[in-house]
Structures are given as C-alpha cells and as structure tokens.
Chain A
Amino acid sequence: MTDLLQLVFSGLAQGAVYGLVALGFVAIFSVREIVNLAQGEYAALAGLSAISAVAAGIPLLAAVLLVVPMVVVVAVVLERLCIAPVKRMTPLVSIILTLGISTALKAIMLLIWGPQGRGLPPFPGKDLLVGGVSIRSQELWILGIAAIVGFAVVRAYEHTLLGKAMRACAEQPIAARLVGISPRTATMIAFGVAGFVGAVAGVIGSPVYFSSWDYGLALGLKGFVAATLGGLVSLRVAMAGGLVLGVLENLVAGYVDTGYRDAVAFLVLLLVLLVRPQGLVLRAPAVRV
C-alpha cells in the first residue's frame, strides 16, 4: 500500500509537469490551428537559464522570476519572426516551422550550456515522510504551482473576455475579425501563454528531473500526448491528462517493468487516436468551416 501511494504521489508530481507542457499545446491550438513542437524547448530553456542565473549568484527566487518572463519574451519574439509572417498557416506548415524552431533552440542550448544535464537547487522547504511515503518538498512546490498556474490559465481562457475572444478566432476566424478581434494579436498572446506555462514547468521540474539541452524533446512528446487526450482543445483535460500519464508511467514502471515506462505515453497516444481522435471530451468539438 505504501508502495502504491509512493508511486502515485511521485507520478502526480511528474504528471503535473507534463500537464503544464500540455497546457502550452492547447493554449496555442485552441486559438489557431498551430501545433507548436517547440513547446518542450521552453521548459529546457527556462531550466538551464535559471541554473546559470543561480550559478551567477542571483538568489533562486529572483532567478525564477527573471527567467520565466524571459522565456515568454523568447516565445513571443519567435512567434513574431517565424509564425506571424506566414500568410496561409495550415497545421502542416506550423509543424514544419515549429520543428525548425525547436531544432534551432536545441542547437543554441547545446552550444551555450554544453551536453551535460544539471539540476536547479530545490526550492526552500523540508522533505516529509507521511505514512511511509516520502514527499520531497520540491514535489509539493510542483503540485502547488502547477495547480495555481493551471487554474489561472483555464480561468483566463474560459471566463475572461480576452480568453473568449481568443478562442473565437479558432472557431470563426472571419466572424471574429468582423467583430474586431485580431487573430494576429490572439496568436501572439497564445504563444506568450505557452511560453509561460512551459517556462514554469521547466523551472519547477528542474530540481527533481534536471534540465539539459535535449530534455525538451521527451517532455514535449509527453505533454503532447496529454494534450491529445483533450483533442488538443480542452485545457482541463490536457492538465488532467498530464497527471494521469505521470501516474500511469510510474505504475507501469513499478508493477510491470521499468523498461516500459517510456512506452506508456505512446500506447496512450495510439489508443486515443484509434478510439477517440477528437479527444476524451464529451462534446464533439465545434464544427470548423
């Protein structure tokens, strides 16, 4: 029983990181049909930058507060440079473009930080032992921050005028423009949000899971799988999907074979694509013209 709880708990922490990355995919896809394959790179970039900032003597909290906006700026600038100028954006074009961005970012990170993986120092706090289950304070930070950020993003997209306007761009682009919503601005904001959640995932996860130049690839894949659970349009399902994926990976590693851990995400992806490619949301997504 203790083992089960231990596996579930650390799976939740890992899953929260996947969930945040998944939010990034959905934040963009639900505004414009762009699959942003550079999503995982935001996390790696944030983690590595924060490590360098701390090494340069900046206090941990300040480093985190510095790095997250920086990655948001990087995400927005790359959107302006590479996504905005494209006249006829299709999902396929977006995939090719963002794959290029991802590869370039990885190469730059490899040049700057070298090939070795490292971890940020853990956030302050004491590790706990509850009923035989070891709980690292960093895991609590991950869960807490992911919950706050996740809630804020969902709230912003579903309940504010701006969020509704942004999603209107995806559902009725022409009508949205007629009522004065700019799809260009909406896309830019969406990339900013994606950069933000990616950066948060990167800094909170770094003390436990480490950061390296190629960390974004695996993380992006896991986040993407979680996002497909919500058909790439549901924020709530994407976040929950991340948590489920994290726990499932740990249970498979614990009870079946540790070697199958990384296969879990792909099995889930296959199942979703075969059974419910529109995602697990109950309603069918709005019809697009």
Chain B
Amino acid sequence: MARLRTLTVVTVAVLALALAGCAESTSGGNTGGSSGGNGNDNGPIKIGAVLDITGAGASLGVPERKTLEMLAQQVNDSGGIDGRRIELLIEDNQSTEDGAAKAASKLVQTEKVNILLGASRTGPSLAMRPIAEQAKIPMISLAANEKIVTGSEWVFKTAQNDRVVIEKIVDDMTAKGYKKIGLARDASGFGEGVAETFTELGKDAGIQIVATEKFAPDASDFTAQMVNLRSANPDAVVIWGIPPAASLAQVAYRKVGPKVPVYQSHGIGNQVFLDTAGDSADGLIAPLVRMVVADQLPENDPQKQTVTTFINDYKSAYNENPSTFAGHAYDGFMIAVNALKEVGTDPNKLRDAIENVSDWPGVSGVFTMTPQDHSGLTKEALVLVTVEKGNWKLLEGQAG
C-alpha cells in the first residue's frame, strides 16, 4: 500500500511539474490597442513583431522590444507614414518554436498585420517562416542563421549570417596560424551548422575542428564541456552561444579550459554578457558590429551617424546602452518603415522594395539586399573586438 501510494504521489507530482513546464508556453503579451482592418488605406499600418521576451532568449528579445517601441513612438510622433499611424503589435514567443508559430499565426490571421518582424533567435524564426510565406506577407527576422532566408521569397533578416561571422574568425585564425580548433556551441538553432561551416571555410587554411561540445541555452554548469576541450589540445577555442550560457561558458573556460586564446560569437554583443562574465571575459576575441565600439569609430565611418544617433536615443529613452540585438531590431524596423514609406502596404510591392534596399547604412552594417541575398550584410559589417577591464575594445586596424 505504501509502495503504491508513493508511486501515485510521485507520478502525479512529475506530471504536474511537466504540465507547469508546458503551461509556460501558452500565454502571450500584447502591446498596443486593437482596431481597424488592414484593407483600409487610412487606418493604422500594422507592424507585428514576435520576440523572445521571456525564456532563454530574453537577453535578446527585451532590448529588441524596447527598440521597436521607441522607434514606433518616434515615427508616430513625426506624423507616421503618409499620415497613417503605426500600430505596433508585439507578441512574446517565450523563446519557443511553437510559441513563435502560434504568435505569428495570430498576428497574420487575426490581426492581419502588414509586415512581420522577428523572431529574436533562429529556431523561432524558422518556425515563423512558413506562416509568412503562406500568407504572402514580408517577414524580417532579427536572427542570424542563414537557413532562415535561404531560398525564401518573403523572408529577410537583419542579423549578419553566421557564415560571415565565421569568415571573420577564420581570417583571424589564418593570420595567427591556429589550426586545431575546439568548439563549444549552443545546442539549439543558433549553434546548428557552425562546426560544418568552420570546416568548410577553414579547409584552405588547414583549420579543422578537433572537438565539438554542445550546451543547452539554459545550461548552468560547463565543466564537462571545457574539460573535454582541454583534452583535445586545441590551438584556440570558439564558444558559440548567447548569455547567460555564453558567460558561464567563458567563466568555466578560464577556470578549467585549455590555456589558449578564445573566440566568442556575435551572440555576446550586450552589456549582460560583460556583467555576467566579469573578469573572465578579458582578452577574448569576438566579431561584433560597430555599435559596441561606436565611440572608438573614426569619423569617416559610414555608419557612425546612424549608430551614434541610435545609441543616444536609446540611452535617453531607457537609461542604458543598446545591445547589438537592439541594433538588429532597429535595422529590421527601419527597413520595414522605409519600404512602407516608399510603396505603401501592398505586400508584393513591399517585398520588392525590401529586396531593393541598397547601400543603406543601418546599425548592424551597410545593407544591400538582392534576390539571392536576403540578409544584406557581408563580413565588412563586423569588426574584431576584445574585452578590456569590462569594456569592449576595438582591435587595431579593424575600423575604417
């Protein structure tokens, strides 16, 4: 009897906890009112955004939400688009794929948005892609992986391809003569395909991955990964993730990892990383956008103006520095707004206008979209940055 009873209690408890886990992906946030339809040419223009506001992607989604809210306010204050107000609808996908799909469907089918922004990370963006394509409305993802846009007619993105980030790292490794690379990567969509791309791009320079370790985006202990990398005796290590996981990995790397140089990805371009990684971040190398080192940029840099204005606006609105993810949101939103200003809300014209963006200086880089490239950025958008005493520092000979 006691045995049976414990069994029942334990089973029910586990089911309840499992349900609690699932329940976390059901509710959703919503800002902005709801009114009007979209066939109407005088009503507000609806921009829908699906962001990773809670969960593992929160350090990306929160600044992105702040950016979108700030920019929508700015555009509306200066008279909107051709006299029409922007109505911004933001949904939280709770960093899950199904949450993103649900939120995107809601925005497209119920709210009938004119254009879709999001999501913050690759996995959720991939989940939104078929929804935008089916509805035939343009979507601009704020995430990095090139799978999001490959072969898509309707989907664009503003974060640089992982490929160009890896090109940048491989260039530096080639110059320094590192051959054997140990990789610790995010086990979710963000880290997928990284090892393969490194192998492909590094082939000519003789660079090869000698060990690949994975970590969950919400992992808390990285000892095992770092110990395994140490055993592989690499020339350099690449940690590919976003904070807090990337910060914890960086700390563990300094404690138990191999004593070799470490590269981080573009996933760490925010203050949260610096705060949580602390001293252990000193000396790492990361290919980041110019925004994190805006004050160190030369005056003739084409992005200097945009980046400085954005940082100042963001600082005065929220009293903190914008992250690179805020920059991706800026680029996505402004590309959408510029296209809407140019051609109005017709989905086909809107799509063409976005595809024709050329030499537009955004926060993350100078964008040139083409029918083949829906990402618009090359490795020139990135500069190699290090960390010195808790601050980003531009490495010599990177800007200009």
Contact = CB atoms under 8 A, between A and B. Distances in A.
Contact of B255 (A96, A134, A210): A134
Contacts of B215: 258
Given A103-B20, A116-B59, A136 B220 contact: no
Contacts of B4: 277
Nearest to B15: A95
A114 interface: yes
B287 to A, nearest CB: 23
Interface string A125-147: 00100000010100000000000
Interface size class of A (residues with CB under 8 A): 35 or more
Contacts, number: 143
B20 A254 contact: no
B373 interface: no
A14 B252 CA distance: 14
B256 A6 contact: yes
Given A116-B244, A261-B219, A254 B9 contact: no
Given A6-B227, A269-B14, A250 B62 contact: no
Interface string A8-33: 00110010000000000000000001
A110 B54 contact: yes
Interface in A233-289: 249-250, 253-254, 257-259, 261-262, 269, 273, 277-279, 284-285, 287-288
B216 to A, nearest CB: 7
B17 A6 contact: no
Contact of B223 (A99, A217, A231, A250): A250
Contacts of B231: 3
Nearest to A121: B278
A217 B21 contact: yes
B228 interface: yes
B136 interface: no
* B interface secondary structure, majority: helix
Nearest to B277: A119
Interface residues of B, number: 51
Nearest to B62: A115
A254 B224 contact: yes
B2 A10 contact: no
Given A115-B58, A116-B244, A10 B218 contact: no
B7 A3 contact: no
A117 B243 CA distance: 9
Contact of B16 (A95, A214, A259): A95
A144 B27 CA distance: 41
Could you say which of B55, B215, B244 has the most chain A C-beta atoms within 10 Å of its C-beta?
B244
Contact of B224 (A99, A250, A277, A288): A250
B12 A92 contact: yes
A99 B213 CA distance: 35
A273 B12 contact: no
A209 interface: yes
A11 B247 CA distance: 19
B73 to A, nearest CB: 21
A277 B10 CA distance: 9
B54 A115 contact: yes
Contact of B20 (A10, A11, A102): A102
Contacts of A35: 9, 12-13
9 shortest interchain CB distances as A-B pairs: A115-B58, A253-B224, A254-B224, A10-B223, A209-B220, A277-B7, A117-B244, A91-B9, A115-B54
5 contacts: A99-B17, A116-B58, A117-B276, A127-B255, A258-B214
Interface of A: 3, 6-7, 10-11, 14, 33, 35, 37, 91-92, 95-96, 99, 102-103, 110, 114-119, 127, 134, 136, 208-210, 212, 214, 217-218, 220-221, 224, 228, 231-232, 249-250, 253-254, 257-259, 261-262, 269, 273, 277-279, 284-285, 287-288
